């Protein structure tokens, strides 16, 4: 076994993709009585938005046939009548890679509406400061399907972003995805039936708390990907409910999350300074927590810029409650590992680590304390990735350490 | 019954998508031909209701004629837009200083500059909505006028340099082909594209809305400013068939007072000239592929463009490596991966995301994201050949 990520298991992955291409779930929203005229009013309102504009949307179901966009205007608020009351349906969308694309709009607020069934990403906000996303629902209404758009709520290249009391369902990549951003609060949201429930990627200073992530392939992910201008670090994941994220992986092969094993609770990949505490994590069938390096993701080394740091460092896992999980991991190799080490009814320990460490940083054969993976209150399985998974072992004692608590993220609004 | 009504409603709504459809004069309505007698004008603000108000063109019989002082230009290798042919023009007001040269960036044009781009197709013997696929970029344009008896005009976009910066204003041609209307919220124009061999394909031509203009023309997201993309040295450094003979465009612009500064044309940056030729190899292939990727992709895929989030940088000076896509895993491509793992797999275009996204017609997978509803078969073939000629693997 060269990896416990799914990508390396090529034959298995191919088989899996075939299974994953089918559609699951019910019918999409019935639009028979939906309004088709309001879209023109809304498009004009977005084109004509001025600094300080408040665009109020009435209750109702509105068919939108092309991607909406707001660009280069500050202090705009878009407000509906509620995330179940004001529905923008893109089920008949003809053009546009997003449902709503917001570009270079500082002090932007969107609240109390739903974006459904967009062809691509539902709500993408890029290059903006001071962004509030509140009580927004993004959903693909036919359930988890590879046919769904990639991201639900998707701020990228933003500074000071708050996502709260929102709902993300059915994204074929991540339901709530914060990318390449700084100063982030994601709280009290619900993410379900996405490949990744909530994902923080290449971002700095994020607090993810009070959320419910369930029925995703992976619940909460903290990622770094190579070749981007900004590596991320500094995330707190706390007081979340992360349970039964066992939905088959229906992502598109080639996307980073398509390799995430079904049944992953919390996953940290190649990211540093992550504190995971006070969460209630249960019944995620591969492992409740996975800590891994890009080495485990099965990508070509040729395609990684040489300055990329693939090692997760200063990870601190403590004060969580774990229950169940690890009993039926995704992938034959992990399944074999489980049975070999823990018996036919045994389970993968709550923290599964691929075992990669930066050899350049070793001192006397060990990582300095301030770089280590520290775990208390859970068992740790070191899968021995560097040894080609030849000597996996429970290594809980080696992670009996702690890091300074990270400070809370403060938003200026 | 309910379903029938819904279908009817859908049909009506589709008809209504052509913005301001109710304003389209029926074929028999009188056309205000005097509107075409305007002299070229710079409107310092606002959105004039008609292209006619800008005075860049006159209509003389069956000819759309460039007004006095309006200069046509072409790019060595052009952006693909659903096989539309494009007539590009530039005009500077009397007394304006010439545009300032930049080696790599768009020339710095003076306030008052008006750039136009008119999208059109050759007509066919069939219906008005059936248009012909034509690869000759100058078809039906003689250097001074477009032959209106032979083409169907779709839209004309204005880029105007105002005191506060550039503004983009789209106009759609009415079916009478003698009048236009402002289309700030864009439009769909449903066409059928006929090829010489008899093949036809449906083409849902999309006129962008004003915010979509910015998705391509804001080439530096940090300042959010709209800029022209084509008028750069490397795109213009080639010969153009002017009405009075062929001449290098940079030389012509300098002689005409449109441009100042910069080295002689033979020492200036120059992209390859490419209009669909397929049997290229070696340096010619490399040059054509990079020129194509430059004008089709790099306005977003640069370190300052909207696609900087992807880590894929496609400007001409960007070296081969992960930044160009070689063995690079995607970041947020979603369906755009096509179940392929790397942007470019050297030697294997069929395993490369790059070509998948160029071939795709789905809004969430296709590249570019805007401006086409069919694939550019020649462009895909060019890039595929370029990838297939690369040595190595991932």
Q: For B125-147, what is each residue's pLDDT tens digit?
A: 989 999 999 999 999 999 999 99
- Give the helix, strand, coil percentages of chain B, each rounded to 5: 25, 25, 50
- Taking CB atoms and an 8 Å cutoff, what residues of chain A touch B222? 127
CA distance A340 to chain B (A): 32
The token pair at B161 is 């340099």
Mean pLDDT, chain A, as a whole number? Answer: 92
Q: What are the tens digits of pLDDT across the range A80-116?
A: 999 999 999 999 998 889 999 999 999 999 999 999 9
Chain A, 254 to 293: residues with Cβ < 8 Å from chain B are: 254-256, 258
What would the mean pLDDT of B41-56 be, rounded to a whole number?
Answer: 97
> CA B170 to CA B178: how far, in whole Å?
16
Rounded CA-CA distance A254/A6 in Å is 11
Pick from B84, B65, B241, B82: nearest CA to B151:
B84
Residue B2: both structure tokens together: 């309910």
pLDDT at position B107, please?
98
B19-28 long-range CB contacts below 8 Å, 24 or more apart?
B19/A40, B19/B172, B19/B183, B19/B184, B19/B185, B19/B186, B19/B187, B19/B207, B20/B181, B20/B182, B20/B183, B23/B181, B24/B174, B24/B175, B24/B181, B25/B174, B25/B176, B25/B179, B27/B175, B27/B176
Partners of B22 in the beta sheet?
none
Beta bridge partners of A123: A100, A153
State the DSSP H helix or E strand holding residue A275, giving kind and residue range, or none if neither.
Answer: strand A272-277
Q: Do B333 and A121 touch (CB under 8 A)?
A: no
Q: Which token pair is A65? A: 């046939």
Is A5 near chain B, with CB under 8 Å? no
For residues B364, B369, B370, B376, the Cα torsion angle rounded to the nearest 10 degrees is -100
- Please check whether residue A61 touches B, CB under 8 A: no
Among B2, B186, B332, the residue to mutate for chain A (most A Cβ within 10 A): B332
Could you say which of A44, A150, A302 has the minimum Cβ distance to residue B335? A150
Question: What percentage of chain B has pLDDT greater than the value 70?
Answer: 93
Any B CB within 8 A of A151 CB: yes
Share of chain A above pLDDT 70, in %: 94
Within the 327-366 window of chain A, which residues sit less than 8 Å (CB to CB) from chain B?
A: none
Interacting residues of A130 by C-beta distance below 8 A, sequence separation 6+: A106, A107, A108, A159, A160, A161, A412, A413
Residues A357-374: tens digit of each pLDDT: 999 999 998 899 999 999
ipTM of the complex: 0.86
Alpha carbons B120 and B116: distance in angstroms, whole number: 13
Kindly determine whether residue A65 and residue B214, on different chains, have CB atoms separated by under 8 Å.
no
Of A214-223, B1-10, B261-270, the range with the lowest mean pLDDT is B1-10
pLDDT, position A19? 36
Q: Which chain B residues are closer than 8 Å to A177 by Cβ?
A: 332
Instruction: Tell which residue, B360, B361, B368, has the closest CA to residue B340.
Output: B360
Predicted confidence (pLDDT) per residue in B166-203, tens digit: 999 999 999 999 999 999 989 999 999 999 888 999 99
Which residues lie below 8 Å from residue B255, measured CB to CB, with a gap of 6+? none
pLDDT of residue B207: 94
Average pLDDT of the segment spanning A284-308: 91
Question: How far apart, in whole angstroms, are the C-alpha atoms of residue B280 and residue B285?
Answer: 5
Kindly report the number of other CB atoms within 10 A of residue B351's CB atom: 18
B19 compared with A117, residue with greater pLDDT: A117
pLDDT of residue B247: 98
What pTM value is reported for the model? Answer: 0.90
Cα–Cα nearest to A163, from A139, A194, A196, A185: A185
Q: Which positions 376-405 of A are in contact with B (Cβ < 8 Å)?
A: none
Contact B211 A71 (CB under 8 A): yes
Q: What percent of chain B has a predicted confidence (pLDDT) above 90? A: 85
Q: Given this model, what pLDDT does residue B29 score? A: 66
Q: Using CB atoms within 10 A of its CB, is residue B269 exposed (0-12), middle (13-18) or buried (19+)?
A: middle
- The span from the first CA to the last CA of chain A, in angstroms, equals 49
Better pLDDT: B25 or A230:
A230
Q: What is the pLDDT of residues B22-45, one digit of tens each?
A: 334 345 567 889 999 999 999 999
Beta bridge partners of A318: A277
The CA distance from B286 to the nearest CA of chain A, in Å, is: 21
Q: Which chain A residues touch B392 with a CB distance below 8 Å?
A: 302
**Structure tokens belonging to residue A318:** 């403590």
- DSSP codes, A248-267: ---SPTTSGGGGSPSSEEEE
Please state the domain extents for chain B: 2-246, 280-388
pLDDT value of residue A2: 42
Cβ contact A125:A102 at 8 Å:
yes
Q: With residue B280 as reference, give the H or E element that holds it.
A: none
Give the pLDDT confidence score for residue B222 in this predicted structure: 84
Q: B254, B247 in Cβ contact below 8 A?
A: no
Antiparallel, parallel or unpaired: β B57-60 and A393-394: unpaired
Nearest-angstrom CA–CA distance, B24 and B19: 9
Average pLDDT, rounded, for chain B: 91
Contact B334 A44 (CB under 8 A): no
CB A319 within 8 A of CB A377: yes
- Tell me the chain B residues in contact with residue A150 when contact means C-beta distances shorter than 8 Å: 332-335, 364
Q: What local confidence, expressed as pLDDT, does residue A302 receive?
A: 87
Structure tokens at B223: 């300042």
Lowest-confidence pick of A156-160, A194-198, A304-308, B107-111: A304-308
User: In this structure, are residues A220 and A267 in contact, taking their beta carbons and an 8 Å threshold?
Assistant: yes
d(CA B64, CA B95): 26
Nearest-by-Cβ selection for B331 from A120, A225, A300: A225
Mean pLDDT of B205-233: 92
- For the record, the structure tokens of A123 come out as 């709500």
Q: Beta strands of B258-363 (E only): which ranges? A: 259-260
Query: Which of A69, A101, A299 shows the shortest C-beta gap to B329?
Result: A299
Mean pLDDT of A162-173: 98
Q: How many residues does chain B have?
A: 394
Which of B18, B211, B219, B343 is best to mutate for the A interface (most A CBs within 10 A)? B211
Q: Output the CA–CA distances (angstroms, integers) from residue A268 to A191, A226, A260, A365, in the order listed.
A: 18, 15, 11, 24
Q: What is the pLDDT of residue B27?
A: 53
Residue given tokens 């092309």 in the structure block? A66
Residues of A in Cβ contact (< 8 Å) with B211: 46-47, 69-71, 103
């Amino acid at each position: 076994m060269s990896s416990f990520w799914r990508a390396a298991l090529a034959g298995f992955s191919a088989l899996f993709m075939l299974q994953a291409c089918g559609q699951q779930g019910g019918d999409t929203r019935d639009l028979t009585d939906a309004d088709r005229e309001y879209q023109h009013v809304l498009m004009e309102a977005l084109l004509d938005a001025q600094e300080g504009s408040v665009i109020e949307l009435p209750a109702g179901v509105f068919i939108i046939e092309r991607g909406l966009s707001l660009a280069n205007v500050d202090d705009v608020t878009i407000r509906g009548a509620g995330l179940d009351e004001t529905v923008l349906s893109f089920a008949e969308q003809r053009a546009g890679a997003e449902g709503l694309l917001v570009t270079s709009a500082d002090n932007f607020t969107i609240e109390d509406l739903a974006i459904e069934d967009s062809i691509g990403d539902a709500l993408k906000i890029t290059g903006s400061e001071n962004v509030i996303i509140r009580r927004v629902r993004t959903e693909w209404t036919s359930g988890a399907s590879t046919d769904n758009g990639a991201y639900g709520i998707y701020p990228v290249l933003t500074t000071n972003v708050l996502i709260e009391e929102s709902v993300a369902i059915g994204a074929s990549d991540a339901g709530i995805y914060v990318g390449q951003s700084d100063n982030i609060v994601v709280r009290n949201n619900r993410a379900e039936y996405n490949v990744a429930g909530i994902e923080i990627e290449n971002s700095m200073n994020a607090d993810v708390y009070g959320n419910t992530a369930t029925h995703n392939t992976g619940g909460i992910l903290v990622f770094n990907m190579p070749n981007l201008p900004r590596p991320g670090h500094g995330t707190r994941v706390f007081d979340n409910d992360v349970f039964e994220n066992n939905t088959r992986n229906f992502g598109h092969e080639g996307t980073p999350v398509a390799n995430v094993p079904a049944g992953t609770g919390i996953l940290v990949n190649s990211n540093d300074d992550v504190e995971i505490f006070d969460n209630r994590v249960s019944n995620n069938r591969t492992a409740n927590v996975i800590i891994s390096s890009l080495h485990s993701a099965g990508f070509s080394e040729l395609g990684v810029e040489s300055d990329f740091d693939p090692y997760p460092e200063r990870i601190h896992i403590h004060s969580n409650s774990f229950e169940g999980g690890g009993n039926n991991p995704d992938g034959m190799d992990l399944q074999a590992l489980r049975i070999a080490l823990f018996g036919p009814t045994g389970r993968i320990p709550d923290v599964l680590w691929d075992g990669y460490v930066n050899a350049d940083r070793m001192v006397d054969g060990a990582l300095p304390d301030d770089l280590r993976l520290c775990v208390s209150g859970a068992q740790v399985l070191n899968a021995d990735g560097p040894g080609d998974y030849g000597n996996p072992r429970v290594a809980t004692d080696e992670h009996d350490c702690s890091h300074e608590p990270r400070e809370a993220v403060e938003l200026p609004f | 019954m309910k379903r029938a009504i819904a279908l009817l409603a859908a049909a009506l709504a589709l008809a209504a998508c052509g913005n301001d459809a109710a304003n389209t004069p029926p074929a028999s309505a009188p056309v205000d031909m005097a509107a075409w007698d305007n002299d070229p004008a710079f409107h310092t603000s606002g959105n004039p209701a008609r292209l006619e108000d800008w005075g860049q063109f006159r209509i003389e019989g069956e000819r759309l004629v460039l007004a006095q002082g309006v200069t046509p230009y072409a790019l060595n290798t052009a952006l693909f837009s659903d096989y539309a042919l494009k007539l590009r023009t530039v005009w500077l007001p009397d007394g304006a200083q010439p545009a300032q040269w930049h080696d790599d960036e768009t020339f710095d044009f003076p306030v008052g500059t008006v750039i136009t781009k008119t999208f059109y197709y050759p007509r066919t013997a069939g219906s008005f909505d059936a248009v012909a696929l034509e690869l000759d970029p100058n078809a039906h344009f003689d250097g001074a006028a477009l032959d209106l008896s032979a083409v169907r005009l779709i839209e004309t976009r204005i880029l105007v340099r105002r005191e506060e910066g550039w503004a983009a204003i789209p106009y759609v041609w009415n079916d009478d082909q003698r009048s236009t209307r402002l289309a700030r919220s864009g439009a769909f124009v449903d066409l059928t594209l006929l090829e010489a061999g008899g093949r036809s394909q449906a083409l849902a031509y999309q006129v962008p809305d004003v915010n979509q203009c910015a998705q391509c023309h804001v080439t530096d997201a940090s300042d959010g400013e709209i800029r022209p993309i084509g008028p750069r040295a490397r795109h213009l450094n080639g010969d153009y068939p002017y009405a009075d003979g062929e001449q290098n465009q940079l030389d012509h612009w300098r002689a005409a007072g449109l441009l100042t500064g910069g080295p002689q044309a033979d020492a200036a940056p120059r992209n390859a000239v490419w209009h669909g030729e397929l049997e290229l190899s070696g340096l010619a292939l490399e040059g054509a592929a990079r020129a194509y990727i430059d004008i089709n992709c790099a306005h977003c895929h640069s370190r300052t463009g909207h696609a900087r989030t992807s880590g894929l940088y496609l400007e001409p000076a960007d070296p081969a490596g992960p930044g160009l896509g070689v063995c690079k895993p995607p970041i947020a491509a979603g369906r755009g991966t096509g179940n392929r793992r790397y942007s470019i797999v050297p030697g294997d275009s069929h395993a490369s995301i790059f070509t998948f996204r160029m071939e795709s017609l789905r809004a969430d997978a296709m590249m570019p994201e805007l401006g086409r509803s069919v694939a550019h078969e020649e462009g895909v073939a060019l890039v595929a050949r370029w990838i297939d000629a690369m040595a190595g693997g991932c």
